[in-house]
Structure 1
Amino acid sequence: MSALLSATAPRTFDDARRWVAEGTSLFFDRIGSLSPSDWSDASSLPGWTRSHLVGHVCANAEALGNLISWAATGVEKRMYASVEQRNADIERASGLPADELTAWFSRSADALDAAMDELTEEQWRHEIITAQGITRPASDVPWMRAREVLVHAVDLAAGTTFADLPEDFLVALGQEIRTKRGLSDEELAAVSGPLPDVVAWLAGRPHSLIDAPELGPWL
Structure 2
Amino acid sequence: MSAPLDPSENTALRLTLDLVQRGTEFFGRELQGLTDDDLDGNSLLPGWTRRQVVAHVVSNAGALGRLAYWADTGIETVMYASLEARTAEIEAGGILRPDALRGAWADSADDLERRWHSLPDDRWSVPVRNGQGAMVPLRETTWMRTRELWIHAVDLDHGAGFSMLPEEVLERLLGDIVGDWAARGDTSRMLTATDSTHDGYGDPDAAEHVTGSLADLAGWATGRVQSGVVSDTGETPAAPRWL
TM-score above 0.5, yes or no: yes
Report matched runs for 1:53-202 at 5 Å.
53-182=53-182, 183=187, 184-186=202-204, 187=206, 190-202=209-221
Deviation at 1:217, TM superposition (A): 2.4
Tell whether 2:236 aligns with 1:212: yes
Cα distance in 1, alignment partners of residues 219 and 15 from structure 2: 20
Distance 1:199 1:213 in 2: 14
CA shift digits 1:118-146 (9 cap, x unpaired): 11221111010012111000010110100
Shift of the 207–23 alpha-carbon distance from structure 1 to 2, 3 Å rule, reads farther
**Runs of 5+ consecutive residues of structure 1 not aligned to the other structure:** 1-9
Whether the 8 Å CA contact 2:58–2:105 is kept in 1: the answer is: yes
Counterpart contact for 1:125–1:139, Cα < 8 Å: yes
- Taking the TM superposition and a 5 Å limit, the aligned residue runs for 1:30-45 are 30-45=30-45
8 Å contact from structure 1 (residues 52, 91) kept in 2: yes
1:151 and 1:139 map into 2 onto residues whose CA distance is 20
Counterpart code for 1:212: T
Q: With structure 2 as the length reference, what TM-score do the two structures score?
A: 0.82
Give the letter aligned to residue 18 of structure 1: D
What's the secondary structure of 1:47's corresponding residue?
Answer: coil
DSSP 3-state at the match of 1:190: strand
SS in structure 1 at match of 2:239: coil
Match of 2:19, as an amino acid? W
1:67-119 Cα deviation digits (max 9, x unpaired): 00000001100011111111112112211111111111110001101110111
Q: Once the two structures are aligned, what percentage of the paired residues are identical?
A: 37
Higher relative contact order at CA 8 Å, sep ≥6: structure 1 or structure 2? 1
Distance 1:188 1:123, change over 3 A: farther
Which structure has the highest helix share of the two? 1
For the pair shown, the structure with the greater C-alpha radius of gyration is 2
- Return the offset for 1:193: 1.1
Contact 1:198 1:207 in 2 (8 A): no
Q: TM-score, normalised by structure 1?
A: 0.91
**In structure 1, C-alpha distance between the alignment counterparts of 2:169 and 2:176, rounded to whole Å:** 11
TM-superposed deviation, 1:15: 2.3
CA RMSD of aligned residues (A): 1.7
How many equivalent residue pairs?
A: 210
User: Greater share of strand residues, 1 or 2?
Assistant: 2
Q: Give the superposition deviation at 1:189.
A: 7.6
Cα gap change, 1:154/1:53 in structure 2, threshold over 3 Å: closer, same or farther? same
Whole-Å separation in 2 of the counterparts to 1:104 and 1:126: 28
